[in-house]
Amino acid sequence: MLKVLFRTSFLSALSVVARGLSLLIVNKLLASVAGPGAYVVLGNFQNAYVLISSLAAGSTAVGITKYTAEHFDNQPRQQEIWRAALSITVVCSAVLAIFCFILAAPLSYYILGDEQFKSSIRLLSLFIFPTALHLVFLAILNGRKKVGSYVIANVATSIILVAISCLLVKTSGVQGIVASLALYQALTMPLTLYLCFRERLFSIGQFSSFGRLTDCWLLGKYSIMALISAITGPLAQYAIRTYLAKTHGVDSAGLWEAVNRLSGMYLLIVISPLTVYYLPRFSEIRAANELKREIKLGYLIILPCSILSAFLIYFYRIELTVLLFSEKFVSMNVLMGWQCVGDVLKIGSWLLGFLMLARGLYKPFIATELIFATTSVILSILFVRNNGPLGAQMAYALNYAAYWGATAIITHRHINSPASPLNRHTA
């Protein structure tokens, strides 16, 4: 399995490099047409985009990957799951498209603070169905462990994001960047569909009828888990960003968003193997001893990588800030110390968070998502009051330390419980 992990990590690194370069270019484009305050708008739209696109796909991506990997030896059963997921996607996309198109103006005002972005909301509504299909096809490729095709799709997505961002920013500035975010995954959908055909995973005729209700209900548990995660994370970020903007100004909130974006760029290197390798791998394992070995292997490889990455980011933070953003953002470097500490804790906890997703521990997963999204906001407000904007990063680190502890307790009990299905297969 170590060979498979290294191969997956290497291929994932290609998509990470492409994604990182695309984010770098988009950041530079945004920094060239606006200051730190524009990152508040961009951050709010991204949060809304993640939530809406996840809802449009019925939040089924995790469930698709889980059951596709679990039934690795039963392709007809896999296709039944995919048919149910596509049925959910059709219904959810239609409802959301109508909702976003009709309410574009108020959504633009309450999410982005200005009705001038209503055209971007309407653009998103028109392209929400192909965006959702793209997410479904990616989940299928991931569950079938078609890593090469999965990486090709992600690299293409990054290239398309850069291309349309460069095109639209010249004519529309910040609005052009926002519009490009609404479009780029939808434009990649034909490629992901082709890749699924090339891998001979299914044919169009197999989706001529709706999926069975029993399979829709089966995916429902994972949809709820993914939905809770898609809602709580962006809402918590929105609350923290809004609080910083009100108490310390829009530029402070923009700098906080810029730090998060820089963090997100390098964390892609570590997070990508979690999605591509561990989610399907944890799903297919049927014995406790084997699962324990995978967890240990993950920490031996991923944790040192995250520590090294965080150290390098902190050491070269000034140079990276100028390279990725501009000299207007240099003051964000005082926030990077606690952010890097929090990033390491985040990766340590996420490995176990993916295990909870893969093993279907939906009650503890939902509970931890709700609890720690709430505590992230509460701790941020408390720490910002006493320490200024730096307090948000201090709260970030403390919250992920507590989350890691909670996930460790939950997964330890699951793996070692005599009642766990894992122990029925342990040699």
Please tell me the distance from the alpha carbon of residue 265 to that of residue 268, in angstroms, as a whole number: 6
pLDDT above 50 for 114: yes
pLDDT at 243: 93
What is the signed CA dihedral for 259, 262, 267, 272, rounded to 10 degrees? Answer: 130
Contact (Cβ atoms closer than 8 angstroms) between residue 395 and residue 256: no
123-150 pLDDT tens trace: 889 999 999 999 999 999 988 888 889 8
Mean residue pLDDT of the chain comes to 84
Q: What is the DSSP string of 205-237?
A: GGGSSPPPHHHHHHHHHHHHHHHHHHHHHHHHH
Please tell me the distance from the alpha carbon of residue 410 to that of residue 184, in angstroms, as a whole number: 38
The end-to-end CA distance of the chain, in Å, is 18
Q: Long-range contact list for 167-173, CB < 8 A, 24+ apart?
A: 169/29, 169/30, 169/33, 173/33, 173/34
262-311 pLDDT tens trace: 887 777 776 776 677 777 788 778 788 888 888 888 888 888 888 988 89
Query: 290, exposed or middle or buried, with CB in 10 Å at 0-12, 13-18, 19+?
Result: middle
pTM: predicted TM-score of the whole model, two decimal places: 0.74
pLDDT at 427: 41
Give me the domain span that covers residue 79: 2-424
Q: How many structural domains does the chain have?
A: 1
Query: Which of 56-60, 217-221, 359-363 shows the lowest mean pLDDT across its residues?
Result: 56-60
